[in-house]
Chain A
Amino acid sequence: SQTIHQWPATLVQPVGSPLSLECTVEGTSNPNLYWYRQAAGRGLQLLFYSVGIGQISSEVPQNLSASRPQDRQFILSSKKLLLSDSGFYLCAWSPWGDQPQHFGDGTRLSIL
């Protein structure tokens, strides 16, 4: 069966520091991968999605970036975090575009 791993579970970072969140999927090949951000009590904001290695689509202009160096690895990065980057970051995978997505446990990011 397929599993998705996302870490760390919580992270506290100072403003201006870099960020790297990693997500890996097991048990499937060539999945679609997604990064979402969720503000407290709010909906899901799609940040990036990828349909293959090295292919990244950005949904929202921001100081975040994403990379997919391997088939089942998806990384969310920032060079300098802003206060507004605080939130709950969720990674998800699906077999292809309009099919059910399966989420990781998420990372709660607090910026001080």
Chain B
Amino acid sequence: GQQVMQIPQYQHVQEGEDFTTYCNSSTTLSNIQWYKQRPGGHPVFLIQLVKSGEVKKQKRLTFQFGEAKKNSSLHITATQTTDVGTYFCAGGRDYGGSQGNLIFGKGTKLSVKP
């Protein structure tokens, strides 16, 4: 079936270190989205990338969408304890109208040691 693979599953870093999570699809995506879920909370939408090769930044977070629109990455520079949580990517497939769907990766759980 349709899958979006996300690695790594877990990442433990020292505060100040960088962090990257990767997302891969076997099929072309209409867009890629990233979500953050804080411990005990619900997933919160961070950003959507639509164009091939697109790069977007949010402060210390850099999001990339691959040229083939099959992979994506989220990079956090100089992690802080507030970055703790699980980061999910979600790949979109457009079937027209309201019938498209979004496939979530299994997430990367980030822990940050102060």
Contact = CB atoms under 8 A, between A and B. Distances in A.
Interface of A: 30, 32, 41-44, 46, 49, 51-52, 90, 94, 96-106
10 contacts: A30-B98, A44-B88, A49-B101, A52-B98, A96-B98, A97-B93, A97-B94, A98-B94, A99-B48, A101-B102
Contacts of B94: 97-98
Interface stretch (B20-28, B75-83, B104-112): B104-112
Contacts of A44: 43, 88, 104, 107
A100 B91 CA distance: 10
A87 B100 CA distance: 27
Given A42-B106, A43-B106, A97 B42 contact: no
A94 B41 CA distance: 19
Interface of B: 30-31, 33, 41-45, 48, 88, 90, 92-95, 97-102, 104-107, 109
A97 B48 contact: no
Given A44-B104, A98-B92, A100-B48, A32 B42 contact: no
Nearest first, the 10 A-B pairs at minimum CB distance are A97-B100, A98-B92, A98-B100, A43-B106, A103-B42, A96-B98, A51-B98, A100-B45, A44-B104, A106-B42
Contact of A43 (B93, B95, B102, B107): B107
Contacts of A101: 43, 45, 90, 102
B85 to A, nearest CB: 12
B88 A97 contact: no
